[in-house]
Amino acid sequence: MAHEFSGRCLCGAVEYACASEPMFQANCHCDDCRRSGGGVYASFVFVSENMLTVNSGELHSFSHETDRGNTATKYFCPKCGSQLFTRNSANSGRRGIRVGTITDASWFQPSANVYAGRRLPSTPIDDEIKAFDEMPD
């Protein structure tokens, strides 16, 4: 897998780079990910926030309460609306990066499906990897 990677939003205003490989890779089937991204599920790689550098552009954010009472913050480009990062107050030193914004994500290999209990019936799921009904701690 790639040891470092970079990505950008749709319009190109926001460019970022990550200096390490992800600590965790997952698909999330929760309602919040569905609604905020518009897809039937969301794919993330999680990294330590100090490994992530935003090289250009501006990020706006939106915070909301999760079903567990934590605060989740989505970071997006105000010009094109692409959502790039997510942060959860339960693990505030970690950033989730939306895999679709990574320039070359051919190495992406989720090790788990989280909120698998909420996936849409038509969403295929890999039975070879772990499935959590909610977000594991």
- In the complex with Zn ion, the residue whose CB is nearer, 1 or 80, is 80
The strand pairing partners of 95, in sequence order, are 47
Amino acid at 119: R
Assess 13 for contact with Zn ion (CB under 5 A).
yes
Q: Are strands 112-114 and 24-28 parallel, antiparallel or unpaired?
A: parallel
Residue reference for tokens 């009904």: 133
Report the C-alpha gap between 115 and 131 in whole angstroms: 8
Among 1, 4, 11, 109, interactor with Zn ion by CB under 5 A: 11
**Buried residues in 117-130 as b, exposed as e (16+ CB within 10 A):** ebbeeeeeeeeeee
# of chain residues touching Zn ion (CB under 5 A): 9
- In the complex with Zn ion, the residue whose CB is nearer, 50 or 130, is 130
Assess 84 for contact with Zn ion (CB under 5 A).
no
Report the C-alpha gap between 22 and 87 in whole angstroms: 15
Among 79, 88, 107, 118, interactor with Zn ion by CB under 5 A: 79
Assess 45 for contact with Zn ion (CB under 5 A).
no
Among 5, 18, 27, 33, interactor with Zn ion by CB under 5 A: 33
Q: How far is the CB of 28 from Zn ion (least distance, A)?
A: 3
- In the complex with Zn ion, the residue whose CB is nearer, 67 or 104, is 67
Report the C-alpha gap between 82 and 99 in whole angstroms: 12
Assess 19 for contact with Zn ion (CB under 5 A).
no
Report the C-alpha gap between 73 and 43 in whole angstroms: 16
Assess 116 for contact with Zn ion (CB under 5 A).
no
User: Which residues are at the interface with Zn ion (CB under 5 A)?
Assistant: 9, 11, 13, 28, 30, 33, 77, 79-80
